[in-house]
């Protein structure tokens, strides 16, 4: 891959302006920033959601199309998985979206059974800004962990050079970009590092938010992508669609089988080709699949199992469930064009069963 060739320098302000424009356009189609009002108030034909920036490119297309065919407006805040979970906990949105299942603390705070409905699978990629490097870099799990631990500080470090034969690596400091907000993307990446590096496990650990040893923080996939594009020598983790849409280079990662894998729909699909548990909460990282990309993950829509709360109407609950059902079925047509892996048939079947368990006043909605 020669992904870095021809990349034009884009200032962080320029990226922010472009993203602001896309949010404004999306808002006209029922997306963008939601108000802080209770999810049971306002327009009965509007559903409010918040959370994953990982999902935003896919959700933007899905919700726009659903609005055209049904008239339902979906107002979605791309604020990070942690923010989406918090808003769902506060009952200010109808659904949250997260790339990490609820942890024990979040489950306790939410105070009622919550359903995790898988809606897509994608790749977290390691994007880098090395203008004079024309080849796709290769990175091993050990090198990756040591870069983010701050142990490998230069791009021409002998360990990086040893697996990138023939690549002229610059004598340049490595700058780390990571998420500053609570993030399911961070959870996927740190869960992977915790599986492959005992040193990472003991010093940092995994989660939606961690204490980073080194680096600069950016909010959302957008913020990390902006830091990488703005500063030569930077490496950061972002969702595959963001990297492709912004013309950014990203590395091949060595998987458990020893193969260097390019993140793609096919390699994420290979990683996701597993039997899901009944609650759909599973990690795809460090896959056993020989052709699977090792930093892959599912993303979920989160809703309350019992939908009769805060004077919500049955009509609102039914519209929400029909929307998610459509996402899991017809909405999957938009996954591959936007570089997400469509759900496997097993994942669809699991999602159907979970959705059918949702109730209104104790009675199934679907």
pLDDT tens-digit readout, 199-239: 999 999 999 999 999 999 999 999 999 999 999 999 999 99
Output the pLDDT for position 10.
35
Task: Give the model's pLDDT for residue 245.
Answer: 87
- Is residue 276 a contact partner of residue 346, using CB atoms and an 8 Å limit? yes
Q: Which two tokens stand for residue 324?
A: 């998610």
Output 264 or 7, whichever has higher pLDDT.
264
Q: What pLDDT, on a 0 to 100 scale, did the predictor assign at position 282?
A: 94
Per-residue pLDDT of 10-43, as tens digits, reads: 333 333 333 333 333 333 333 333 333 344 445 7
Does 53 score more than 70 pLDDT? yes
What pLDDT sits at residue 11?
A: 36
Range 281-310 average pLDDT: 96
Q: What is the CATH number of domain 123-272?
A: 3.40.190.10
Candidates 281, 290, 245, 280; CA nearest to 125 is 245
Right CATH for 12-120+299-364 from 3.40.190.10, 3.30.1280.10, 3.40.50.300, 3.90.79.10: 3.40.190.10
Residues belonging to the chain: 366
CA pair distance 338, 65, nearest whole angstrom: 14
Kindly state the average pLDDT of the residues 59-64.
Answer: 98
| pTM assigned to the model | 0.83
Scanning 55-137, the segments in alpha helix (DSSP H) are: 56-70, 81-89, 104-110
3-state helix, strand, coil in the chain (%, to 5): 40, 20, 40
Average pLDDT, the chain: 89
122: helix, strand or coil: strand
Q: What is the pLDDT of residues 70-82, one digit of tens each?
A: 999 999 999 999 9
CATH 3.40.190.10 domain range(s) in the chain: 12-120+299-364, 123-272
Contacts of 106 by beta carbon, 8 Å cutoff, 6+ apart: 85, 89
Average pLDDT over residues 96-108: 95
């Amino acid at each position: 891959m020669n992904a870095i060739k021809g990349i034009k320098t884009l200032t962080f302000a320029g990226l922010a302006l472009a993203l602001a424009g896309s949010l404004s356009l999306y808002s006209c189609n029922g997306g963008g920033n939601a108000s802080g009002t209770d999810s049971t108030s306002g327009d009965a034909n509007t559903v409010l959601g918040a959370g994953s920036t990982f999902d935003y490119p896919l959700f933007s297309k899905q919700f726009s199309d659903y609005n055209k065919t049904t008239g339902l407006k979906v107002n979605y805040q791309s604020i990070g998985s942690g923010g989406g979970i918090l808003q769902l906990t506060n009952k200010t949105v109808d659904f949250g979206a997260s790339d990490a299942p609820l942890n024990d603390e979040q489950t306790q705070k939410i105070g009622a059974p919550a359903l995790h409905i898988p809606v897509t699978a994608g790749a977290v990629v390691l994007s880098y800004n090395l203008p004079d490097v024309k080849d796709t870099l290769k990175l091993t799990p050990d090198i990756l962990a040591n870069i983010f631990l701050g142990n490998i500080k230069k791009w021409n470090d002998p360990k990086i050079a040893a697996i990138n034969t023939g690549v002229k690596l610059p004598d340049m400091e490595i700058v780390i970009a990571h998420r500053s907000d609570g993030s399911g993307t961070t959870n996927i990446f740190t869960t992977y590092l915790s599986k492959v590096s005992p040193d990472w496990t003991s010093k940092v650990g995994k989660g939606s938010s961690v204490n980073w040893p080194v680096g600069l923080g950016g909010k959302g996939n957008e913020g990390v992508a902006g830091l990488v594009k703005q500063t030569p020598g930077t490496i950061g983790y972002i969702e595959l669609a963001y990297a492709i849409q912004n013309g950014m280079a990203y590395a091949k990662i060595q998987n458990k089988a020893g193969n260097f894998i390019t993140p793609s729909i096919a390699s994420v699909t290979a990683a996701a080709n597993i039997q899901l548990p009944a609650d759909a909460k599973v990690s795809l990282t460090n896959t056993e699949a020989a052709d699977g990309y090792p930093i892959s993950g599912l993303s979920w829509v989160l809703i309350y199992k019992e939908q009769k709360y805060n004077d919500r109407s049955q009509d609102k609950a039914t519209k929400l469930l029909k929307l998610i059902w459509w996402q899991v079925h017809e909405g999957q047509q938009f996954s591959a064009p936007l570089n997400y892996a469509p759900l496997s048939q097993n994942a669809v079947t699991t999602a159907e069963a979970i959705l059918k368990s949702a109730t209104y006043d104790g009675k199934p909605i679907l």
